[in-house]
């Protein structure tokens, strides 16, 4: 049950989102990236279904419409299309890649399979002056990824940029405010792409760049205060940045009416409980209740080695603990959650949002429904990097704001095989060495997630003069923007050597350390 009054989208942010840009998603892996890039220009941006009607767009009255790329070909039957009426609303439209092909196809041009599929960097030359390329050099590097291209512009489009193999790399319509780019301005491989998007959203669409996170925080806090009134709110803390930012905003809004619950499931990292309590109580004086539930979780996990069964049992135990504690809080009416915009999009929960690409994991499901609270989700409109910036502006410490993500089921899914107190201790010590050494090398912020995994493998070694038959630690460190794909971090050999030596010398029961060099896909970031 979501309380409309507390749902940050669209009511809370109404004042700040008057000037919005919408991205219609045609199945591009980059749709979210486009939205983030637009927001970097201080312009609010939302992602909508590709088939949203022109009528609905008229009601929403965005300042501009961006048609994303996508894997289809416009001439295929069943290819996703947009309502052609949107080109005639008088709202500026920018088609990117597939989006450009759609615009040209809908307005008299022709799209064909290119003789040479173009993928990678290309040099783009300005062919005619236009507002889109205003202030940009005559020649610039762009990133192409397409099999189709516009072969015939019809009589209403003109070419404004070209590359060696793509004669119409960017186009504009003669009568309508419709533009297209065959390349991708949103990716970092188009170094001046930000300026191109800025030209579109600021100059062509006329947005004046009012979307500021500080204003967002102020408006949201005021709104939360007003809607919550004198009721109590419960907030679960996980040690991660999202729940901390939610708690910080609520604390600013309602102070003593907020109660936070930290369930220590015995599966946290080394010293994590103390760090959360410390960071939290140093920054707020909010009511914080720590539930010590190690025993409960470990007995639920006894003898369980199958990953999904581990998750299921942890989920159940979590709901029970949280419920017991929450029911002790008199008059609690709302439950705060750190749902972010990508969660809203990926769960298909956004009004007019793109159809669900259902998120497969992972978070403990069913909590709000089980408990019967109304939900407060003040971060529903934000991307992760915005949440981090917001956290810093709310005064949260960098150590918390930049902490690597940690899965809800905690060390249980990094302790392969049986989860016992002893094996968790081994894992915890090894993990602290991995993270500690990466931090000491100044590489923590340059990696996205770094941790140790305890394998269900014993192997032979020799220590001193004695033969050992001990456990194996795998070190995992990945770099990623979105956690949907990831590559293994190219950590320096001497750092890996230090990690390995320290783990084998300092962690009893471990005689072998491996480095995981798999990317995602086909591997995942976690091992279970």
- Convert residues 346-375 into a mask of x (bound to ligand XMP by CB under 6 A) and - (unbound): ---------------xxx------------
Distance of closest approach, residue 483 Cβ to ligand XMP, in angstroms: 4
Query: Dmax of the chain from CA atoms?
Result: 85
Q: Is 316 in the site for ligand XMP (CB under 6 A)?
A: no
What is the DSSP code string of 176-229?
SSEEEESS-TTSTTSTTHHHHHHIIIIIIS-------HHHHHHHHHHHHHHHHT
Estimate to the nearest angstrom the gap between the alpha carbon of 314 and the chain centroid: 24
Residue whose entry in the numeric block shows the structure tokens 């762009």: 142
Cβ atoms 471, 511 nearer than 8 A: yes
Distance of closest approach, residue 525 Cβ to ligand XMP, in angstroms: 3
Q: Is 407 in the site for ligand XMP (CB under 6 A)?
A: yes
Residues designated catalytic: 97, 184, 186
Residues contacting 374, CB < 8 A, separation 6+: 1, 2, 3, 6, 333, 334, 335
Distance of closest approach, residue 521 Cβ to ligand XMP, in angstroms: 9
DSSP E strands, 249-387: 258-264, 287-292, 332-336, 374-377
Distance of closest approach, residue 410 Cβ to ligand XMP, in angstroms: 9
Question: Roughly what angle, to the nearest 10 degrees, separates helices 213-228 and 384-393?
Answer: 80
Kindly tell me which residue out of 209, 255, 395, 405 binds ligand XMP, with binding defined by CB under 6 A: 405
Kindly tell me which residue out of 46, 68, 145, 449 binds ligand XMP, with binding defined by CB under 6 A: 449
What is the DSSP code string of 343-368?
HHHHTT-STTPPPP------S-TTHH
Residue whose entry in the numeric block shows the structure tokens 């946290």: 268
Identity of the residue, 193 or 408, whose beta carbon is nearer to ligand XMP in the bound complex:
408
- The edge-to-edge listing of strands for the beta sheet with 287-292 is 2-7, 374-377, 332-336, 232-237, 258-264, 287-292
Stretch that binds ligand XMP, among 31-39, 89-97, 424-432, 517-525 (CB under 6 A): 517-525
Identity of the residue, 289 or 520, whose beta carbon is nearer to ligand XMP in the bound complex:
520
Beta bridge partners of 235: 260, 336
Q: Is 408 in the site for ligand XMP (CB under 6 A)?
A: yes
Identity of the residue, 169 or 400, whose beta carbon is nearer to ligand XMP in the bound complex:
400
Distance of closest approach, residue 325 Cβ to ligand XMP, in angstroms: 20
Cβ atoms 317, 408 nearer than 8 A: no
Tell me which H or E stretch contains 295. helix 294-301
Q: Is 2 in the site for ligand XMP (CB under 6 A)?
A: no
**Rounded distance, CA 211 to CA 20, Å?**
9
Q: Is 483 in the site for ligand XMP (CB under 6 A)?
A: yes
Distance of closest approach, residue 365 Cβ to ligand XMP, in angstroms: 10
Identity of the residue, 294 or 526, whose beta carbon is nearer to ligand XMP in the bound complex:
526
Distance of closest approach, residue 472 Cβ to ligand XMP, in angstroms: 19
* CA-wise closest residue to 345 among 60, 32, 13, 2: 32
Q: Is 524 in the site for ligand XMP (CB under 6 A)?
A: yes
Distance of closest approach, residue 17 Cβ to ligand XMP, in angstroms: 29
* CA-wise closest residue to 278 among 387, 103, 399: 399
Identity of the residue, 255 or 365, whose beta carbon is nearer to ligand XMP in the bound complex:
365
Q: Is 231 in the site for ligand XMP (CB under 6 A)?
A: no
Beta bridge partners of 44: 20
CA angle 61, 65, 67 (to 5 degrees): 145
Identity of the residue, 328 or 362, whose beta carbon is nearer to ligand XMP in the bound complex:
362
Identity of the residue, 378 or 409, whose beta carbon is nearer to ligand XMP in the bound complex:
409
For residues 336-348, one letter each, b for 16 or more C-beta atoms within 10 angstroms of the residue's C-beta and e for the rest, the string is: bbbbbbbbbbbee
Which residue has the CB atom at the shortest distance from ligand XMP? 362
Cβ atoms 171, 154 nearer than 8 A: no
Beta bridge partners of 20: 44
**Rounded distance, CA 452 to CA 433, Å?**
9
Kindly tell me which residue out of 252, 311, 380, 388 binds ligand XMP, with binding defined by CB under 6 A: 311
CA angle 389, 393, 397 (to 5 degrees): 85
Q: Is 409 in the site for ligand XMP (CB under 6 A)?
A: yes
Task: Tell me the three state secondary structure of residue 277.
Answer: helix
**Rounded distance, CA 423 to CA 416, Å?**
10
- Count of residues touching ligand XMP (by CB under 6 A): 14
Identity of the residue, 323 or 520, whose beta carbon is nearer to ligand XMP in the bound complex:
520
Stretch that binds ligand XMP, among 2-10, 73-81, 220-228, 404-412 (CB under 6 A): 404-412
Identity of the residue, 180 or 407, whose beta carbon is nearer to ligand XMP in the bound complex:
407
Identity of the residue, 391 or 408, whose beta carbon is nearer to ligand XMP in the bound complex:
408
Distance of closest approach, residue 310 Cβ to ligand XMP, in angstroms: 9
Distance of closest approach, residue 235 Cβ to ligand XMP, in angstroms: 16
Q: Residues in the site for ligand XMP, rule: CB under 6 A? A: 311, 361-363, 405, 407-409, 449, 483, 520, 524-526
């Amino acid at each position: 049950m979501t309380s409309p009054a507390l749902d940050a989208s669209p009511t809370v942010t109404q004042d700040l989102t008057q000037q919005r840009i919408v991205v219609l998603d045609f199945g591009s892996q980059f749709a979210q990236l486009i939205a983030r890039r637009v927001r970097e220009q201080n312009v609010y941006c939302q992602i909508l279904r590709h088939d949203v009607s022109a009528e609905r767009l008229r009601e929403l009255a965005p300042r501009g419409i961006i048609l994303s790329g996508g894997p289809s070909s416009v001439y295929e039957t069943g290819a996703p299309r947009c309502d052609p009426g949107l080109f005639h609303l008088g709202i500026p439209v920018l088609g990117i890649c597939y989006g450009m092909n759609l615009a040209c196809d809908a307005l008299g041009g022709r799209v064909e399979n290119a003789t040479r599929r173009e993928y990678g960097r290309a040099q783009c030359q300005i062919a005619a002056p236009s507002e889109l390329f205003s202030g940009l050099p005559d020649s610039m590097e762009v990133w192409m990824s397409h099999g189709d291209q516009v072969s015939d512009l019809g009589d209403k489009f003109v070419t404004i940029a070209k590359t060696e193999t793509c004669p119409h790399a960017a186009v504009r319509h003669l009568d309508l405010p419709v533009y297209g780019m065959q390349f991708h301005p949103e990716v970092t491989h188009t170094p001046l792409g930000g300026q191109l998007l800025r030209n579109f959203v600021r100059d062509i669409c006329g947005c004046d760049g009012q979307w500021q996170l500080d204003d967002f925080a102020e408006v949201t806090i005021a709104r939360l205060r007003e809607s919550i009134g004198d009721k109590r709110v419960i907030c679960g803390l996980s040690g991660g940045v999202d729940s901390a930012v939610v708690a910080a905003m609520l604390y600013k809004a309602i102070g003593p009416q907020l109660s936070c619950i930290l369930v220590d499931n015995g599966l946290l990292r080394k010293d994590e409980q103390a760090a959360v309590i410390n960071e939290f109580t140093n920054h707020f004086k909010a009511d914080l209740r720590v539930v010590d539930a190690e025993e409960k979780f470990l007995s639920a996990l006894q003898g369980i080695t199958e990953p999904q069964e581990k998750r299921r049992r942890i989920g159940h135990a979590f709901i029970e603990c949280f419920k017991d504690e929450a029911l002790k809080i008199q008059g609690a009416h709302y439950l705060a959650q750190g749902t972010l915009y990508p969660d809203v999009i990926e769960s298909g929960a956004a009004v007019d949002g793109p159809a669900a690409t259902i998120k497969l994991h992972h978070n403990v499901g069913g909590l709000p429904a089980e408990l019967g609270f109304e939900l407060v989700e003040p971060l529903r409109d934000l991307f992760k990097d915005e949440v981090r910036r917001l956290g810093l502006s709310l005064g949260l410490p960098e150590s918390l704001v930049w902490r690597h993500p940690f899965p809800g089921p905690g060390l249980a899914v990094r302790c392969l095989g049986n989860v016992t107190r002893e094996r968790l201790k081994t894992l915890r010590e090894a993990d602290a060495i991995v993270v500690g050494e990466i931090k000491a090398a100044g590489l923590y912020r340059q990696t996205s997630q770094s941790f140790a995994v305890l394998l269900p493998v014993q192997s032979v070694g020799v220590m001193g003069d004695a033969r050992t038959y001990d456990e194996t630690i795998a070190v995992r460190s990945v770099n990623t923007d979105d956690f949907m794909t990831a590559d293994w971090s190219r950590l320096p050999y001497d750092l890996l050597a230090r990690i390995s030596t320290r783990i084998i010398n300092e962690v009893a029961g471990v005689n072998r350390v491996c480095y995981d060099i798999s990317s995602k896909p086909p591997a995942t970031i976690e091992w279970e």
